Amino acid sequence: MSNQPTITDFETIARRVFETIPSPFAQHLTDIILRVEDWPSREILDHFGMTDPHQLTGLYQGIPVGEKSQFGAPGVEGDRIFLYRRPLLAEMAQTGVELEKLIRHVVIHEVGHHFGLSDADMHAIEESVED
């Protein structure tokens, strides 16, 4: 198990994904904080009504671009994207999809939330471009 990708490996891959996001979208991503954690917290799982921590591979926390005020929101932390290492490793083992592709998928999904897209919106987009 010691040869599994580390949190630092995940961060490196995710940052490469951010570098591939084209303008004008990229200019809205410069302040996002990227965090990689082994597991989502119990509080996060409870918030979404999840019992199995493997159910959540990533999370966007923040105020979507179209809802932001020029003055900011008092007491609100900056936008953050979380990647959860252990659920992603489990998904990789279960599906055989390479880790970089999984991380790319999750990062793009969470960036979609940053731009105000819902899960249903993103699933519709993904289905429209699958071959």
Per domain, the residue ranges of the chain are 7-129
Q: Report the alpha-carbon distance of residue 49 to residue 36 in Å, rounded.
A: 21
pLDDT band at 131 (very low <50, low <70, confident <90, very high): very low
DSSP state of 23: T
Give all strands of the β-sheet with 33-37 in edge-to-edge order. 33-37, 80-84, 58-61
Cα separation, 104 vs 119, whole angstroms:
16
Q: Which CATH number fits domain 7-129: 3.20.20.10, 3.30.2010.20, 3.50.50.60, 3.40.50.300?
A: 3.30.2010.20
Residues 90-119: pLDDT tens digits? Answer: 999 999 999 999 999 999 889 888 888 888
The pTM (predicted TM-score) of the whole model is 0.83
Helical pair 99-114 and 119-129, crossing angle rounded to 10 deg: 130
Query: Are 83 and 34 a contacting pair, CB within 8 Å?
Result: yes
